[in-house]
A and B are shown apart, each in its own frame.
Chain A
Amino acid sequence: MRIVRKDYVRNGPGSVKMVPVDSDDLWFAYNLIAPGDSVMAATVRKVLREAASGGRDAERIKLKLEITVEAVDYDKVGSVLRIRGKNILENEYVKMGAFHTLELELNRPFVLRKKVWDSLALDVLHQASDPGASADLAVILMQEGLAHIFLIGRSMTTTRSRIETSIPRKHGPAIAGYETALKKFFENVLQAFLKHVDFNVVRCAVIASPGFTKDQFHKHLLLEAERRQLRPIIENKSRIMLVHTSSGYKHSLREVLDAPNVMNMIKDTKAAQEVRALKDFFDMLSNDPARACYGPKHVEVAHDRMAVQTLLITDDLFRNADVEMRQKYVNLVNSVKDSGGTAHIFSSMHVSGEQLAQLTGIAAILRFPLPDLEDIEM
């Protein structure tokens, strides 16, 4: 995200003009823009005009509109951010108070005006403008008969492709069937790989699977690349890594991020940090269950007793909450930070964020055990 102009007071009103550069930035914008703010951007509007002859003419006019935000919608599949709201800028084409839906596009600047720039929003802004540390990993997670291709970005993980076939087992005469089915499966995965993985964008590609499927596929990949002279693969041979996981299902993605050789590549990125924090939480839960808790009520109680060491929270909670709730969570995060603890805000588009969301979206590792949390209703 490129910040063009900043003009705000901390915890006060202000405006920022910025330009989203990649789809990750749209995700940041989604986290920043909340109902009640106002957004100004160039957009296209269909306007009915009376021509001189009396006929009505529908014309698409490019104009700059400013609207107060009523609803924000992020389209994961198409990577589009839609903002719906009422017009507040004097305009010859559009009446004041008329509804309009803005679509934020890449490389087009927009101005966001907020009433309160709280610490969280500033954090997001800071992260968005940080040019370095983009995880950008392409992962092929597979097992026999099932393969997923994920693209792990800075703040989100998108599933690019999912391939599922049924491969017969190998018993005596049926072995031939197994080989052909497996070859066809690998071919499909290879096609998807070529289509979705662009080595100019991703840093490296990881092939992960239980058993030996990854080795088989890797061999097949290299052979086919040689045979068909697929330049992108041949040139980037060294950037393909193999990692062992326990299954080919989506939740095994965290094992990929945990693997040492992958960790080296992405250790300073958000995704890796999130995975580590969640792993710590699970470890604590198995070793000493009284020192870990989850659920808004429990975490609140723990916080009241100043027991929270590490707070794990998804950005989902901030986005969906009304102003009051959001304020409460912001305060929670700030006070945890002030008292010397750490707060991790998980992107709900990452695998670890999804996992945390399954556990109610908020969890904490405590400084000292609180056994009586068990008795409190969740």
Chain B
Amino acid sequence: MPRKVNYGLDYDDDYDDDNDYDDYDIDYDVEDNAFSVVTGNLHKPNQEATRSGIWRCSICTYDNDQSMTACDICGVLRNPLPSSGISNGNDLKTAPFKFDVPSPDDIVTNGLRSSKMGPKGTSSSYHEGGVEYTLPMDEIKPRSLAYSLDSASINDRGGYSNSYGTGKAASQGQYKPEKWMLHEAEDGLLSQLNLAIVGHVDSGKSTLSGRLLHLLGQISQKDMHKHEKEAKLQGKGSFAYAWALDESPEERERGITMTVAVAYFDTKRYRVVVLDSPGHKDFVPNMISGATQADAALLVIDASNGSFEAGMDGSKGQTKEHAQLIRSFGVDQLIVAVNKMDVVQYSKDRFDLIKQQLGTFLRSSGFRDSSVLWIPLSAMENQNLVTAPSDIRLLSWYKGPYLLDAIDSLQPPTRNVSKPLVMPICDVIKSPSMGQVSACGKLEAGALRSGVKVLVMPSGDVGTVRSLERDTRPCAIARAGDNVAVVLQGIDTSHVISGGVLCHPDFPITIAKHLELKVLVLDGASPILIGSQLEFHIHHAKEVARVEKMVSLFDPKTGKVMKKAPRCLLAKQSAVIEVVLQGPVCAEEFSSCKALGRVSLRALGRTLAVGIVTRVIEKEPIAFFKSKYFVFFSK
């Protein structure tokens, strides 16, 4: 099929999209009156003069001459008769219209534009994957207003690349989610809960998760036997359950978890996604990556004598650091599982001691007493996990819920399904054989379905969702809060990176190097000076950052500025600082997107400060990345 221009072999879809936007620009300049579209005046033959004299058939993508009313090759009519009413491009395309090809037809572009630039809810243009989809047209009034607002923002667009950028500010408020996105509580689907399991090294996190999975039937007896046999062979018999989650030979050999393992199980109320984090000090960056996805957390404590104290140690133990980090991720519901109670003979005194000491610390970190649950249990002996305890020593003094009950009693978090799509990419799995790449992560806002087009940041490329997978099983729709693997196609595999973000093509997120942060310096941290080089963690991305300027110190309780331009930041102080990163990251102000606005600063193996992004000082233009993409052999 002849194509207008050949930029690259694989990027047809992307290219066509760009062409789409270019068309809109031209049209807009010619047509001033936004409202004329709304009133149903779709047919504007004079606009075609601005076209280059050919139109592309929507079915076979053949370039036809202007004079033809039907495609030369496939015979499909150029302008199928419009059904009644309003300029929804949707109605016009009763023939399966794949929106991934441009339609030089200006009726269509008009219709498309009004529906595309109006409230997104009525537009289904790019969400179709060949499936016919109509929505009730009941939003004329808001649309016209929205459209004029949007037109204002469209005016700013220089080239197509900016179309991704500036449309956002005005249209953020006008994003209307589609019906399929909001469809919840259908056919008995349990709501999803992301549970991060954190704690000091060797507290029994992986073993606990493995046990739970086994007891709830997620791991078959055969698999469990296999793990046990292999573990005994390597001399690590006690790690048999942990091996269900630690799958790589490195992890098994050393008996530790190195990266976050994801597993799924169901309780009465929730589909729980277990994020088993490493407890080792060196792997805290990996734990951060996992814990950003969490809705609630399970802090595992080793009750045995000496281990608890070691965990609580400020500089060497991870219990405190993990607790502070998850609090900074916005998790306010915590279950503290005091593990290895069998080693201390289920002693109530020990439990009370731990509860008291850790409780004061958690309170000072910001956890409310009412949202912290304390569960004594033993993973090795299967006490108090999925049923009430059977051991009399524990039964004698403990009358509270068992672990599964406690998980069920957690409050479901609010999901931003009605906001535009935001999905930070945690992992990227490439399958070169199929020419596709899958991005794994948790949807923070919005929803996804196969056939939908997504914008991959920071590269700025647009890809199509081929399929979605949850727990290695394909699923049809993923909504905010779901942890899925998205198989993408039509995109360069090297552009999808861990630390990137998938978002809605019309609502791109900002990429920046220069940020203003509001941070709280944790106690035990070394002082932070101007020019200090720190590691900057935001959702799944990490970069080297330099403290550029320290704006002010303020009192966290009152919010008043205590001192301007401090010399250095000491432990327990709150301050506003500016950092410059070595490479750009996807970041958003905390007020507009929580998931992309939380940061942590680390250095020398310790977390020095946690905070939020208050302002993006200098945005990186997406066009920068796009231009790289269009240059041949640049990569």
Name A's B-contacting residues (CB within 8 A): 166, 168-172, 174-175, 177-178, 210-212, 216, 244, 246-247, 249-252, 255, 282, 285-286, 289, 293-294, 355, 357-360, 374, 378
Contacts of A282 in B (CB 8 A): 526-527
Q: Are B567 and A374 in contact (CB-based, < 8 A)?
A: yes
29 A/B residue pairs, CB under 8 Å, sorted by A: A166-B428, A166-B498, A168-B427, A168-B428, A169-B427, A170-B247, A171-B247, A171-B429, A171-B440, A172-B247, A211-B258, A212-B258, A216-B250, A244-B282, A246-B282, A246-B602, A246-B603, A246-B606, A249-B544, A250-B544, A282-B527, A285-B529, A289-B527, A289-B567, A289-B568, A293-B567, A294-B567, A358-B530, A359-B532
Q: Mark B464-497, 1 if CB is under 8 A from A, else 0.
A: 0000000010000000000000000000000001
Q: Mark B276-314, 1 if CB is under 8 A from A, else 0.
A: 000010110100000000000000000000000000000
Q: Are A251 and B247 in contact (CB-based, < 8 A)?
A: no
In the complex, B535 has a CB within 8 A of chain A = yes
A-B interface contact total, Cβ < 8 Å:
94
In the complex, B141 has a CB within 8 A of chain A = no
Instruction: Mark out the residues of chain B between 231 and 245 whose CB falls within 8 Å of any chain A CB in the assembled complex.
Output: none
Contacts of A285 in B (CB 8 A): 526-527, 529, 568
In angstroms, Cα B527 to Cα A196, docked, is: 36
- Identify the closest chain A residue to B524 (Cβ): A286
In angstroms, Cα B282 to Cα A378, docked, is: 37
In the complex, B140 has a CB within 8 A of chain A = no
Q: Are A378 and B248 in contact (CB-based, < 8 A)?
A: no
Q: Are A174 and B429 in contact (CB-based, < 8 A)?
A: yes
In angstroms, Cα B533 to Cα A355, docked, is: 8
Contacts of A210 in B (CB 8 A): 282-283, 605
Q: How far is the CB of A249 from chain B (nearest CB, A)?
A: 5
Q: Are B250 and A212 in contact (CB-based, < 8 A)?
A: yes
Q: How far is the CB of A85 from chain B (nearest CB, A)?
A: 34
In angstroms, Cα B280 to Cα A80, docked, is: 46
Chain B contact residues (Cβ within 8 angstroms of A): what range?
35 or more
- Identify the closest chain B residue to A252 (Cβ): B604
Contacts of A177 in B (CB 8 A): 429-430
Q: Mark B372-416, 1 if CB is under 8 A from A, else 0.
A: 000000000000000000000000000000000000000000000
In angstroms, Cα B250 to Cα A210, docked, is: 15
Q: Are A286 and B527 in contact (CB-based, < 8 A)?
A: yes
Q: 6 nearest interchain CB pairs?
A: A358-B531, A246-B605, A251-B533, A210-B282, A211-B282, A169-B427
Q: Are B535 and A175 in contact (CB-based, < 8 A)?
A: no
Given the contacts A249-B535, A286-B526, A166 and B497 also touching, CB distance less than 8 Å: yes
Q: How far is the CB of A285 from chain B (nearest CB, A)?
A: 5
Given the contacts A166-B497, A172-B472, A289-B527, A358 and B532 also touching, CB distance less than 8 Å: yes
Given the contacts A171-B261, A246-B603, A359 and B283 also touching, CB distance less than 8 Å: no
In the complex, B546 has a CB within 8 A of chain A = yes
Known: A170-B247, A177-B430, A255-B604. 9 other contacts (CB 8 A): A168-B429, A169-B426, A169-B427, A171-B440, A177-B429, A211-B283, A286-B526, A294-B529, A358-B532
Given the contacts A289-B527, A358-B531, A374-B567, A171 and B427 also touching, CB distance less than 8 Å: yes
Q: Are B535 and A178 in contact (CB-based, < 8 A)?
A: no
Q: Tell me which of B472, B526, B530 contacts A359 (CB under 8 A).
A: B530
In the complex, B318 has a CB within 8 A of chain A = no
Q: How far is the CB of A28 from chain B (nearest CB, A)?
A: 26
Q: Are A378 and B427 in contact (CB-based, < 8 A)?
A: no
Q: Are A358 and B604 in contact (CB-based, < 8 A)?
A: no
Contacts of A174 in B (CB 8 A): 427, 429
Contacts of A378 in B (CB 8 A): 565, 567
